[in-house]
Structure 1
Amino acid sequence: MPLIEQIFCVTTGQSGGEGYDVVHSEELDKDVLSVEDVDTLLLCQLTENENLTEPFAYLNACFKRCQQQKRVNKGQLSDSLQATFQEVDRLVIGYGLVAFQIENFCIHGNIINYIRQIVKNVDIYSDFISQLIQRANLEGTLPDFVESFFPNLVKYLTKELQYFDLNDSQTYNAVLTIYEIFLSYKCVASTFTKISSFFAKFDCKPSEFEKTTLLGPILTLSPLNPNVALRNYGENLERTPQQKKVIHESLQAEHKVIVDRLFFIVDRLLRGSLESRNDLLSYFAQIVNKNHLRRGDHANQSKLASNAFMTNISVILIKFSQPFLDVSYKKLDKIDVNYFNNLNFFIDLSGETRINSDFEEADEFYDKNRKSDDCKPNFISDCFFLSFTYLHYGIGGTLLYDEKITPQIKRIKQEIDRIKGISQSQELFASFASMRIQQMEKSLKITQGIKDAIQGFFSNKSLQLEVFDFICGASTFLIRVIDPEHQYPFQPINLPLIPDQVGVENVDNADYLRAHAPIPFKYYPEYIVEGPVNYSVYISQYTSSPVFRNPRLQSFVEFSTMILRCPELVSNPHLKGKLVQLMSIGAMPLADDSPGFMMDIFENNELVRNNLLYAFLDFYVIVEKTGSSSQFYDKFNSRYSISIVLEQLYHRIPLYREQLVWQSKNNSDFFVRFVARMLNDLTFLLDEGLSNLAEVHNIQIELENRSRGLTQVREEDEKELRSKLASAERQAKSSIGLADKSITLFELYTRDIPGAFVTPEIVDRLAGMLDHNLESLVGKKCGELKVRDPQQYSFNPKELLRSLTTVYIHLSDEHEFIAAVARDGRSFRKELFERAVHILARKTGLVSDVFCHKLLKFAENAEQERLLEEEEDSSYGDVPEEFLDPLMYTIMKDPVTLPTSKVNIDRSTIKAHLLSDSTDPFNRMPLKLEQVIPNETLKQRIIDYKREKKTAK
C-alpha cells in the first residue's frame, strides 16, 4: 500500500481494505496519491465523507501513523521522503487547528465532540495536542486555539457530565492532564488568563465561579465535594471508626496527588508572565471577596462557593507561601508590613472589622499614608495576605460549616426517632411517616457524609501540617509588624510595649489602649488574627493535630502570649478567649500525666516565660466585659481555661509560683483585682450550681411521686416539669464544672499567699461566700442536694466540702479573716464546722485528725470573735445613720465622699465595689478610686462617738 494511502487509510480504487475509505473525488482519481494530493484529500475527508463520524479522531490517527512511518523509515529517510512527512504533519496539524477554530468545519464534528474524545482518550491525543499548541504558537493563532478549546472543555465538564468529581477518576485525571499539557508551554501559560472565561463576569454569583471559570471545575476536585462524600461515607452510616479511617487515608492519598497537580498548573500560570501572575492573583481575590459570607452566622451555603473549591485554593496559596516563611526567615522582610497602604492590593477590606481601630480611623490612616500609584505590592506580599484571607474565608468557612451541621445531624436523628415513635402509635400516620422518614434518612446520609468527609480532610496530618506551618511563620511576621522597629525575629522584642497603668483596669480603658495600639497592626483586618486562631482551636481536637509537639509551635505561642500580655494589640475578647482555650489544651496533662505539649515552651521560651503569668491574670480581669449581650456568661468559659493553665503552671514550674507570690506582694492592686474576679465567679457559680441541684432534686422527687400515684405538689404538667428538669440539669452541670477549677485555685493560692485574700475589700465577701456554701453542704437543707447520679453534674459534695474547709484552714491564722467570718451574721454558725468535721473525718475519712483539729479551732476562734463583736456593737447603742455605711450598714472606719452622688461610704466598701463595677453605685456614673474624697471630718466624728460610748460604758 502506497505511503499516503497508509497514513490516511484511503484508497482510490473501487473498494478499500478493512478500515480504508474509498475516495470519491475527480481531483483524486489517480492510481497513487502523492504529497501534493494531501490537502485535497484531507478537505474531502473532513467535509464530504459521510462515513467519517469522528473527524478529529481521524486527524489524530493520521498524525500517529505518520510518526510511525517516520520511525519505520528512520534509517532511509531521503530528502523527498522527509519533505513528504513534513508536509503531511503540516497539513494534519493545520486541519486539527482549523477544526477547533471553525465550528462545524467538519461534516460530522463539533468542538464539544472533539473535547469528549480527548477527555476519554487523553493519552492517545497528548502528542497531537502538543503539536497543535506548537503550530498555533508559530502561526500566531495560539490565543484563538486556546480560546476555543478551554471554554468548551469547561462547558463539557459542567453541562454534559452529570458530575465531575473524584468519583470518576478516569475523567478527572484526563482533564488534569489536558491542563498540564497546555500549561507546560510558557506561551500558553503567559496568555491563558486572557481567555474570555478565565475571569467570571462582574455580576457572577459566589457559587458560580467554580462552574463558569476556566479553573473552576478542576479546583473543586476534593473529598469535600458532597457527591464524593455521599458515595464514600453516606451509603453506610454504620461504619466503624477503623473503617472510616481506611476511607480517610485512601481519599487523603488521592487528594494529595490532586493538590500537587493543581499546584503545578497554578505554578505554571504564575510563572507564565507578570500579567498572568497578576491575573491569577486577581482571580483568587475576586472569588474570596465575593465569599465573605462564608463566615457569616446565617449564610446560605448553596449560594456561596463550595468548601471543596475554597479549601483547595487555600491549600495551594499556602503552599506558595511556604518558601518565604521557612525557619530561616530570610525572605520575611520581603513581606510588606504596610501592604494595605498600597492602592493596588487585591483584597476587599470594606466592611472588615479591624484589629483595634474603627473603619473611619483606618480609612483616615490609609488616606494619609497611601503609596504612589506606581508602587505595586510584590508577589510575596500579595500571596501572603491572600493566603491569610483564604485561611479565614476558605478553610475557616469550612470549619464554621462543620460547626453548623453537627447540631443539624443531631436534630435530624431526633426527628427521625420522634416520627417513628408517633407512627408506631398512630396507624393513620404510618404512610405519611414512612415517606417523611425516607426523606430525612436521605438528608441524614448526605449531611453525615459531608461531616465525615470534613473529618477526613482535617485528619490529614501532612496537609494540615502545611497549614499550621504557615500559621507559625505568619505569627513570626505579625510579631515583626507589632515590633516598633519591625526587626523581629533578628532582634528580640521586649514586653510590654506600653507601660502598664498601675491601678487602672484595662477592661475600662479601651480608648487609651486603642490610642496606643501599634501601627499599622491596629489597622489590619481582624481576620489576620481570627483565621489562625479559629483554625488552631479547631484542629486541636484531632489526635493527629499538627499543633501537638510541633517544632515551630513556639512561634505561635509567642504571638499568643503577646496578644494576651499587651491588651492594646487586640480589642476582641472573644479572640483572646479562643487563644486561652487553645493554651489550656496545651497545658493539660497528657494521658500518662506527663506535662502538656505546650508546657516546655511555657518554661523555656524567654518571651513566654517572662510574660505569660501576668497576661493570664490580666485577661482574667479583662474578660469581665466582652461587649456582647451574653458577656456575663462568656467570661466563665475563658476563666475556666485560664484556671487550667494557672493550675498547671503553679504545680509544675516553680518559676511561675515565684512570679505569682511576687505579684501578690509588689503589685497588690493588680492582684487583688484578680482575686476579686475569682471570688465573684466562685460565689455566683456555686450559688447557681447548688440552687439548680436543689431544683433537680425537687423535680426528681415530684416525678417519682407522680409515677406512684401520689398527690402532686407542683402546678406544672409533666412535659413542663421535664423541660425544667433538663434546663436545671444543664445549668447545674455547667456551673459546678466551672466552679471546680476556681475552688482549686483558691486552695492553691490561699495556702501560699494568704495575705492577698484578707484585704479589706475582699475578706468579708470571701467569708460570706464560704459560710453560705458551708451551710448549703452541711446545714438543714443539705438533703436537697441529693440527686441521682451526681457525677453527671460533676458534683462531688464531699470533695467540695473538703476544698471549702481547706480554704478556711489556710486562712485560719489571719485575724482579718477570723473577724470577717465572725461578722457574717447570715450564715456563720459554729455547729456547721462541727458537722463538717463529722462528715469529712468520721463518715468519709477524707481528712486527717490534724485537719479536723485546726478546723474546729478556727470555728472556736471565730465564735469568740463573734461574741466580742456583739458586745462591742451593743456598747454603741443606736448608732446615727450618717455613721453607717450605706451598703454594709456597719460603722464606717474610713469614710469617703463620692464625687458625683455626694454619698458618704466606707473606703473599703467602695473599693470592693469598684473591683467589679467602675461606676458610682448610687447614680451609675463612671468612677475611679482616686476620685473619691476622704471625709476627715466625718471620720473624726465617728472616732469621737465610739470613744464617748466606750467611756460612758
Structure 2
Amino acid sequence: MSKSICKPFTSKLIIKTNDNIVELVLLCTIDEDAPITSSKIYLAELSTLYAEKWDKNRVDQALFERQRIPNPRNELIVSTAKNALISDDIITETRCLYYLSGCYQRLLQQRDYFKSILSDIQKLFIDHSKTAITLPSMYPDQQLSKQWIDLLIESQNNSLLLEYIDRVNNELVTSMTDEIEVFYKYVFHYMYKVIQPLDYFNSKLSFYISILSNLSQWPILVQIMFRQSHPKTLSDRATINSTISVASGRAFQDTLIGSLLSKSCLPSLPGNPYIFFNQPNSMSEHAIQTTSETVWQLMKTYQDTLTQLFKMFIKNADARSDVLQWIGDCFDENHEKSKKWSSNDPLAAVIFVSDGFLINLTVILLNLAKPFAEPYSPKLLKIDPRYAICQNASVHLTNLYKETPLIKRHKETTDEKCSQATFNFITEIFFMSHFSYSCSVRGLYRKLLKIHGDISKKQTEYKNAVSLEESDSQTTKDLEAQIQNDHTTFLNIKSVLNEPYLMELSNSLLTSTCSWLVHLASSSSDPSSTSNGAEQMSILKMLPLTSKPNPQLSYIPEFIIENIIDFFKYISQFNVRFFRSNESSINEYMYFMLVFMGDINRLANAHLRATLAEALDTIIPDQQDNDEELNRAFPAVVFEECPLIEHLPRVILDVFVSIELTEQAVAFQQKFNCRHPMYNILQYLWKFDKHRLQMKKLATYAERHIEDAEAPLFLRFINLLMNDANFLLDEGLIYMKKLRTHQDMKDSDQWNNMPEMQRQELENTFKSNGQYARYSNIMGIKTLIILNMITQYIQFIFCHPTICERLAAMLNYVLQHLVGPKRRDLKVRGINEYLFDPTKFVTKVTDIYLNFSRYDQFCVAVSNDGMSYNDQLFPQAIEVLQRIKYPPERIAEFQKLSERVKTINAEQKQADDAYDDAPDEYLDPITSILMSDPVMLPSSHKILDRTTIARHLLSDQTDPFNRNPLRMQDVIPQTEFKKLMYLSFIRDLARWIKRFFKVFGITHRSSSAMNRGLALSSTMKNCIRLAGLSGALAICLGAYGSHAMKENTSDDLRRLFQLAQTYHLLHSAALLAVPFVSRPHITTPLFLGGLTLFCGPIYYHAIRNDTQFRRITPYGGMLLIAGWLSIAVL
C-alpha cells in the first residue's frame, strides 16, 4: 500500500522539479496566463504539453526552443511584481554561451532544491554548450569565441562560472575535433589582439595570464596555444625550418605567447621610449636607486607570474614537447641575437624579438633550471653533453650543433653518439637556459658597454665644444641632449641587469655550470667508465690536470664559457657588491678559470682563454670604484685564500704564451689587448709572497731545463715579453717622431701652401698616428714595468745567451733614443695627450740595467751591441738621470756599471781581432757571429748556432728560411763541423801566439831556426802530440757534458764542468805554442801538471758530485800560472 502511494508521489515531485527548472533556471514559462513574480520567456511550442509529461527530455526541448528564439524580448511575459529579482537583460539574453553559463550557475545556486536531478541537468547544459561550440553553424550570427573569452575573463572572480568552463572544457577535450581546435584558435587569437596593446603596468595582463594558467590544465589546449603562437603554424618541424623567412625571428613576438613575453620596462618596439630615468641629469643617487627598486619590483612580480604560467604549460608531458619546440624554434630564428653585431646594429631591433622578450624568457628558463642549478648537485650529472651535437627529433635547439666547441670534435663521433639518443628535461633546460642567457643578458651587457663608451666619448666632445663655443650653442645643446638620452638608456639597461632575482638565478646557473665543466674536465676521458652510476661531483683537489681531456668537452659550445666570462665581468664592473654577498660563489669561478684558462687541451680557443684573464682582471683593485673596502679586502681574499690559487701564475704565463703560438694565434692587433689584463694580474700577484715564490719556481725550472728541446714555460714567457717590449717601444718612438715631423710641417710655410684636401688628409693621418702612439706608449711602459718587476727578483735566466743579447740590445736601443741626440725628435706639443713620459721610460730602463749590473754576461752583451751602444751612451744617460732627480745612490751604481761595460768593451774589441779572419761558413747566417754550437735545420739544411734557432723557436715554431714547421728536438747537431771549427781556431791561435812572441821579442830564434829545431826535436813532437790528445779529450768531455749530464745534473755542477772544459781546451791549445818558447821542457810539465791537478778534480766533482779531491785544485791553478809566467820570463 505504501509503495503504491510513494511512487506517484515521487513521479509528481520530479515532474514538478523539472517544471521548476524551466522557470527558475531557464527563466521560461509555458503558461501564458499564470501569475509570475518575475518576467519569463514564453515557450509557445511547449505550452500544449501536459504537465504529466514533463521530464528531462522536455527540459532539453525547452532549452532548445529557448535558444532558437531569435528575439526573446518578443516572447517576454513581463512580471507585474515590483522589485524583480532578475533583470530583463538576463532573462532575454541572446548570446548562446552566456545564456547556458547563466543557466548552469542558477542551477548550482539552487543545488539543494534540484538535488534529485542536478547531475542530469548539469550535463544537459554542458552538452548544449559543446554542441554550440562544435556546430557553430547553428548560431551563425554569434561570435562564440568572443563570448567564450569574455566568460573566461569573468570566471576569474566567479567560482560557479569557472566550474562551468572547466566542465565544458573537459567535454571538449575528450573528443577533440577540428571545429573545437578552430574555436580555441579564435579564442587565443582574440586574446592576443587584446593583450598586444596593453602596457607593462596594465592590470588586465594578470587576468589573461590567469586564464591561460587555468586552461593549461588541459594539455591539448596548451598544444593548440603554442601551435597558434608559432609564426608558421605547421606540425612538420622540417617544413617550418625550410619556410620561415629571415625576418620571422621578430614574428615570434607577434603571437599570443610572444606578446606576453614582450611586456617589459625595456621598449618592445624600435623607437619606443624608455619608461624610467627620463631626466637622469637631474636625478640624485637616491632617486636613481629608488627608481631602480621600482623597476626590480615590477620585473619580479611580472616574471614570477610568467614563470608560474610556463610551469603549468610544461607540467604535463603531452604538452611539454610543444612548449620546448616553440622555444627552440624561437631561438633558432633569433640565434643571430647572440652575435656581437646584433648589439650595435639597429636592424637587429627590427628583425629579432625584443630584449625584454628574451630577458623574460631567460628568467623563466632560469627558474625551470633552479632545481638543479646548484654547484655539485647530483642532478647535474643528468645533463647529457651529447645534446649539443645531435640533430635528431628529440633536440629542440636544432642549430646548437653548429656552435664552436671547446676543443676539436671528431666528425665520426656525431653519428655514433646521436643515432638513438633521447634527452631528459634537465638537459633541455640547461642548454636552453644558456642559449637564452647568451641572447639576452650578454646582448644587453654588450649594449651597456657600448653606451658607456659613447657617453664618455660624447662628454669629452661636450667639454671641448664648451671650451671652444658658447655653452648655449646648438652644438653643445645637441650633445647634451644626446648624452642625456644615452644616460637614460644606460640606467634602464643597468637596472634590468642588476635586478636581484635575475642576478641570483644567473649566479646559480653559472656557478653550477662551473662545477659541472670542471667535473667534465677532470673526469675520465672515457665517458662509459662511469656508466655504472658511481660517478659523483666533487671539489677539485689538484692542478694541473694531467689526464687526457674528456672527449665530451668537444660537445660543449663555447658560448657557455662566454656566458660565465661576461657575467663575471659584469659583476666586477657594475655590481661588485654582489660578490660580497655571495662570497661562496667566487671559489667556483676561480676553479673554473684555473682549469680552463691555462689548458689548451681543454679549451682550444686561445682568445677565449685570454678573455678569462680579462675577466679576472676586472676585480683587480684599480679597476673598481672608490670603495676602499671592496678595493682592498675582496681582491686580496680572492688572490690569496682561494683554494689552488697558487697555480694562477703558471696559468697566466701559459695563456700569455699561447696567444702567440702559430696554431692558436689571435689577430695581431688583438694580441696586446689580450695581454694588457695579464700585465695587471701579474703586477697585482707580485704583491703576494706566495705568488712571487711560484714565479721563482717556474724560473728555476726553466734554468734547469733551458737547453731542453721544448723550451720551458717561463723561458717562452720572458722571450715574448722581450718581443713585446721591443715592438711596442720601437713603435712608440716611431710614432712620436712622426708626430714631431707633422707638427714641424704645420709650422712651416709649406703647410699654408697645401690644398685644403691634402691638409685634411694629413690631419687625419696625424690623429691616427696619435692614437697609435698613445696606445704603444701605454703598453710599452707597462711592459717595462713588468720586466723590471720580474728582473728585480729573477736575473740568471735573463743572462742566458738566448735572452741576454736581446735584452741588452733592446735596453740600449731605447736608452739611445731617450738620452742621445735623437731625443729631440721625440719632443712634441701636447706630449701628455700621448701618454709619453720620457722620465718614466728612462727611469724604468735604468732600473732594469741595474738589476743586472753584477752579471758579467749582461755587461758583455751590452758592450757587444754594435747597433746602439757606444762609449758616450751611459754618460749621456747619467746626465739625464741627474736632471730628472734620479736617486743619487742609484746614479752612482749606474756610473759603476758604465765604467765596467766600457772596460769590457775595450777588452772585447781586442779579443774580437782573433776572429776577424774567420771563414764565412763559421758565422751564423742570421747574427753573423761565430758559431759555438752549430746545428742543421732538417728542411732547409741551413747551419746556424743552436742559441740562434732556440731564440727564434721561442716566438715562431717554423724554419726561418722556408717557414716549414720546426721543433727544437728536430735540429741536427753538427759534431764534425764543430771539430773543424775548433781545429781552425787552434791553428789561428797558434799563428796569433807566434806573431805575439815575434812582436814582443820573447824568442830571438828565427822562424827557420824554430822549424829546424822542431824537426830535429822529438820532445817538441811529443809536445804537439800531447796538445792534440788533450784537445781531443776536452772535446769528448764536452760532448759528454752536453748530453749525458743534461737531465740528471744540477746547474751548479754543470757550470763547474763547463769551467773545467774551458780551462782544459784553452791550455790544450796553449801546448801548441810551447815549441816556440825558449825553454819548452819547463813550460810543458807545468801546463800538463796544472791541467791534471786543476781540471781533473773539477771534472770528478761535476761528474760524481764528490768534493774529496777539490782541495788540490789550487795547486793545479798555481802550476798553470807558473806555466804562463815561464813563457814570459824564460
- TM-score when normalising by structure 1: 0.82
2:275 is aligned with 1:232: yes
Cα offsets for 1:489-541 (capped at 9, x unmatched):
33645433338xxxxxxxxxxxxxxxx54212123333332333344334543
1:39 match: 63
- 1:903 CA drift (Å): 2.3
Structure 2 matches for 1:635-674, cutoff 5 A? Answer: 635-651=671-687, 653-668=688-703, 669-670=711-712, 671-674=714-717
Cα separation, partners in 2 of 1:586 and 1:412, compared to 1, 3 Å: closer
1:383 match: 429
- TM-score when normalising by structure 2: 0.70
1:766 match: 807
Cα separation, partners in 2 of 1:12 and 1:606, compared to 1, 3 Å: same
2:585 is aligned with 1:552: yes
Gaps of 5+ in 1: 419-423, 425-429, 500-515
| Residue identity opposite 1:249 in structure 2 | E
Rg (Cα) greater in structure:
2
| Residue identity opposite 1:525 in structure 2 | P
Cα offsets for 1:205-232 (capped at 9, x unmatched):
4425524655322222223343496141
Cα offsets for 1:698-754 (capped at 9, x unmatched):
434544667xx9867999833122211221222122222222332222111111111
2:904 is aligned with 1:850: no
- 1:694 CA drift (Å): 3.0
- 1:155 CA drift (Å): 2.5
SS for the counterpart of 2:944 is strand
What is the count of residue pairs matched by the alignment? 897
2:234 is aligned with 1:210: no
Q: In 1, are the aligned partners of 2:103 and 2:125 still within 8 Å (CA)?
A: no
Aligned counterpart in structure 1 of residue 834 of structure 2, from 793, 798, 819: 793
| Residue identity opposite 1:663 in structure 2 | L
- 1:808 CA drift (Å): 0.7
Q: 1-side partners of 2:696 and 2:482: how far apart?
A: 58
SS for the counterpart of 2:574 is coil
Q: 2-side partners of 1:775 and 1:385: how far apart?
A: 58
| Residue identity opposite 1:905 in structure 2 | L
- 1:271 CA drift (Å): 1.7
2:93 is aligned with 1:79: no
| Residue identity opposite 1:489 in structure 2 | M
Q: In 2, are the aligned partners of 1:154 and 1:214 still within 8 Å (CA)?
A: yes
Structure 2 matches for 1:438-517, cutoff 5 A? Answer: 452-485=491-524, 487=535, 489-490=537-538, 492=540, 494-498=542-546, 517=549
- 1:682 CA drift (Å): 1.2
Cα separation, partners in 2 of 1:129 and 1:197, compared to 1, 3 Å: farther
- 1:580 CA drift (Å): 0.8
SS for the counterpart of 1:552 is helix
| Residue identity opposite 2:366 in structure 1 | I
Q: 1-side partners of 2:141 and 2:89: how far apart?
A: 7
| Residue identity opposite 1:219 in structure 2 | L
| Residue identity opposite 1:638 in structure 2 | C
Q: In 1, are the aligned partners of 2:97 and 2:148 still within 8 Å (CA)?
A: no
Cα separation, partners in 2 of 1:237 and 1:654, compared to 1, 3 Å: closer
SS for the counterpart of 1:896 is strand
Q: In 2, are the aligned partners of 1:897 and 1:905 still within 8 Å (CA)?
A: yes
2:185 is aligned with 1:155: no
Q: 2-side partners of 1:472 and 1:78: how far apart?
A: 59
2:265 match: 223
1:356 match: 407
1:262 match: 306
SS for the counterpart of 2:899 is helix
Q: In 1, are the aligned partners of 2:442 and 2:566 still within 8 Å (CA)?
A: yes
Cα offsets for 1:536-566 (capped at 9, x unmatched):
3345431357456542121122112111232
1:169 match: 202
Q: In 1, are the aligned partners of 2:337 and 2:443 still within 8 Å (CA)?
A: yes
SS for the counterpart of 2:867 is coil
Q: 2-side partners of 1:710 and 1:283: how far apart?
A: 66
2:791 is aligned with 1:750: yes
1:731 match: 772
Cα separation, partners in 2 of 1:538 and 1:774, compared to 1, 3 Å: same
Q: 2-side partners of 1:61 and 1:380: how far apart?
A: 47
Q: In 1, are the aligned partners of 2:362 and 2:437 still within 8 Å (CA)?
A: yes
2:669 match: 633
Query: 3-12 vs 943-952, which deviates more?
Result: 3-12
| Residue identity opposite 2:889 in structure 1 | V
- 1:898 CA drift (Å): 2.3
Q: 1-side partners of 2:861 and 2:513: how far apart?
A: 52
Structure 2 matches for 1:23-422, cutoff 5 A? Answer: 23=41, 26-27=44-45, 39-40=63-64, 42-44=66-68, 79-80=113-114, 101-103=134-136, 109-111=142-144, 113-114=146-147, 117=150, 123-124=156-157, 128-138=161-171, 140=173, 143=176, 147=181, 151-156=185-190, 158-159=192-193, 163-164=196-197, 166-167=199-200, 169-183=202-216, 185=217, 200-201=233-234, 202=240, 203-205=243-245, 206-208=248-250, 210-211=252-253, 214-227=256-269, 230-233=273-276, 240=283, 242=285, 245-272=289-316, 274-296=317-339, 301=348, 302-327=350-375, 329-339=377-387, 344-348=394-398, 349-358=400-409, 361=410, 363-370=411-418, 373=420, 376-399=422-445
Cα separation, partners in 2 of 1:478 and 1:146, compared to 1, 3 Å: farther
SS for the counterpart of 1:356 is coil
- 1:679 CA drift (Å): 0.5
Aligned counterpart in structure 2 of residue 811 of structure 1, from 852, 859, 866: 852
Query: 93-102 vs 822-831, which deviates more?
Result: 93-102
Cα offsets for 1:257-314 (capped at 9, x unmatched):
1211111111112222x22223322332222233332234556523333333333222
Q: 2-side partners of 1:724 and 1:585: how far apart?
A: 33
Cα separation, partners in 2 of 1:413 and 1:681, compared to 1, 3 Å: closer
| Residue identity opposite 2:696 in structure 1 | V
2:577 is aligned with 1:533: no
Q: 2-side partners of 1:949 and 1:239: how far apart?
A: 91
Q: 1-side partners of 2:494 and 2:961: how far apart?
A: 54
Cα separation, partners in 2 of 1:561 and 1:153, compared to 1, 3 Å: farther
SS for the counterpart of 1:79 is coil
2:821 is aligned with 1:775: no
Cα separation, partners in 2 of 1:36 and 1:314, compared to 1, 3 Å: closer
Q: In 1, are the aligned partners of 2:369 and 2:509 still within 8 Å (CA)?
A: yes
Cα separation, partners in 2 of 1:5 and 1:629, compared to 1, 3 Å: farther
Q: In 2, are the aligned partners of 1:12 and 1:22 still within 8 Å (CA)?
A: no
Gaps of 5+ in 2: 1-19, 75-87, 235-239, 465-469, 525-529, 704-710, 997-1130
Which structure carries more relative contact order (alpha carbon 8 Å, separation 6+)?
A: 1
SS for the counterpart of 1:781 is helix
| Residue identity opposite 2:956 in structure 1 | D
| Residue identity opposite 2:402 in structure 1 | G
Q: 2-side partners of 1:494 and 1:865: how far apart?
A: 49
Q: 2-side partners of 1:662 and 1:828: how far apart?
A: 34
Cα offsets for 1:583-603 (capped at 9, x unmatched):
111334554285474543443
| Residue identity opposite 2:686 in structure 1 | Y
Q: 1-side partners of 2:599 and 2:120: how far apart?
A: 75
Q: In 2, are the aligned partners of 1:613 and 1:660 still within 8 Å (CA)?
A: yes
- 1:678 CA drift (Å): 0.4
- 1:341 CA drift (Å): 7.7
1:833 match: 874
Q: 1-side partners of 2:847 and 2:935: how far apart?
A: 36
SS for the counterpart of 2:404 is coil
2:731 is aligned with 1:688: yes
1:502 match: none
Aligned-pair RMSD on alpha carbons? 4.5
- 1:826 CA drift (Å): 2.1
Q: 2-side partners of 1:713 and 1:36: how far apart?
A: 102
Cα offsets for 1:180-202 (capped at 9, x unmatched):
2323x366777667866568431
Aligned counterpart in structure 1 of residue 909 of structure 2, from 870, 876, 885: 870
Cα offsets for 1:745-781 (capped at 9, x unmatched):
2111111111121110111111111111112222223
Cα separation, partners in 2 of 1:415 and 1:732, compared to 1, 3 Å: closer
Q: 2-side partners of 1:109 and 1:238: how far apart?
A: 56
